[in-house]
Amino acid sequence: MNSNTLIKKTGALVLIGAMFFSLCGCSMFSKKDVLAAAREVAENIEDFDADRLLSLSTLSSGSDKAEDLRKGLNGDYLDENTLKFCTAVRKTISFQIKEDTFTAKGKEASVDIEFKLADYKSVLKKDYKNIDELVSAVRNSDDTVKVTYTAKFVKEDGEWLLDNLMGSSFLSIFEFMDADIGALAVDLSKAVKGSGWGDAGSDGYENAKKLSLKVEFASDITKLAGKGVKMTYSVEKDGKKVWTSDAIELGNDTSIQLDYGTEQNPGAEMKSNCLAAGKYKFTLTADNGTVMHSADVDVKVTIKETTTPSTTSKGYKFYDTNFASKVLNASWANVDQKRVSAASYGSDAAAVSFQFQVDPSVTENLQFAYFYSANVADALKINVRQDKPVISGVAKPIVNANGTFYAMGLKTKSGATMKQGLWILAIFSEDKQTLYGLADCQVLPKPASSYK
């Protein structure tokens, strides 16, 4: 082999080597740089550092997508509790650069970054009383999921820059930020903006038959619509619970009126046909036990409950205005022709009876009680709610062709006559919480015939 041939062969080898390095030198010498760039991207994804990610990418920092990235990673679109949940998930994120997936061609390269995080979907399948329980469950979760992001780079001015920031592969890392945490999305302890007592004066209620608390919710309460989240409200009187409502679903309205009164609550303590005096407290409690709100109000009773009507002509008076409006006529009945006047009987009367006609809409069974007093002075001392009656009973409505009637009678034993003096009749609602009216009649010292 002559020297010229050697030179030619050596020159050919050099040329082949130069061509090899020009074709594949990019992969050999740029892989390290691309992997370093990928690691820096992954670390800043892990840190949720939007501005640093933008500086490592081809995306303009002043673009709309850049602003979306900043707001998204900052949690600006999330409510307070969902942000707490997402922060907990974020803190479980780790990554691994999958070097065997590296590819490069010219000034373009790509590599897969595998992110591992808590399996938040499995965590959300369970029920939690509050956001703290959910956050704790995320932190302690042993189950994980993996998300692969194919990071694509381009070389510009000697730097490898991320070219698919905000692409679908990138956004898949952050799917947990769109998770629905259900009822926990609303902090129920802060769900009420305020409340006010309807029709109450500056000192509370006076002679009230109903307490009404209007509650205003924060606007995010509507996030609970259709999620089955419920609350109840309880009522306390002077520190003792007297009533609890049925469950009320949350999320359908931003305000609600809560009532407690003589008509809505048959067990309410009464005084003079009004709610009894005292301090009343309403407490709203979510079905997970969270106390959402409480408010209290004073109730005063300034009217005195009448025990005997001051009606000498008719012998009766209905005090409950609602019921009184439904009474069409009333009178003491002329039992056995022994009635002397509208409200008096002769000494030979063996029975008395008070009867009245009502509007057909009245269908309840009424409670009644008879009390006796020898004179007017003693009659005024009778308390029809506390004193023991001579007799008590239930009057059912009598319906016939002429209308709807009630009859409340008192009859002596066979052969006996009514005791001389005042007989006082108290008429109550079916639950005996409301005093509808009082009637009184007098049994005179002489037989009925003596007064004709």
Structure tokens at 352: 């008395």
DSSP 420: S
Task: Tell the CATH topology of 199-300.
Answer: Immunoglobulin-like (2.60.40)
Average the pLDDT over 178-192 and give the result.
87
Q: In this model, does residue 155 exceed pLDDT 60? A: yes
pLDDT score recorded for residue 97: 97
Boundaries of every domain in the chain: 26-185, 199-300, 316-451
Q: In this model, does residue 215 exceed pLDDT 60? A: yes
Identify the CA nearest to 439 among candidates 403, 414, 412, 408.
Answer: 408
3-state SS assignment for residue 273:
coil
Separate counts of helices (H) and strands (E) for the chain? 9, 26
pLDDT score recorded for residue 7: 37
Q: What is the pLDDT of residues 243-290, one digit of tens each?
A: 999 999 999 999 999 999 867 676 677 766 688 899 999 999 998 888
Angle at 96 between CA 49 and CA 59, to 5 degrees: 35
Lowest model confidence (mean pLDDT) among 133-142, 147-156, 263-272? 263-272
- Higher-pLDDT residue of 124 and 182 is 124
Contact 202, 299 (CB under 8 A): no
Instruction: Give the Cα separation of 438 and 310 in Å (integer).
Output: 10
Q: What is the pLDDT of residues 2-44, one digit of tens each?
A: 434 333 444 444 444 444 444 444 454 589 999 999 999 999 9
Identify the CA nearest to 34 among candidates 162, 169, 165, 147.
Answer: 162
SS3 readout for 306-368: CCCCCCCCCCEEECCHHHHCCEEEEEECCHHHCEEECCEECCCCCEEEEEEEECCCCCCCEEE
- CATH of the domain spanning 26-185: 3.10.450.100
Task: Tell the CATH topology of 316-451.
Answer: Immunoglobulin-like (2.60.40)
Query: Does this chain's domain 199-300 share its CATH topology with 316-451?
Result: yes
0.85 cut: is pTM over it? no
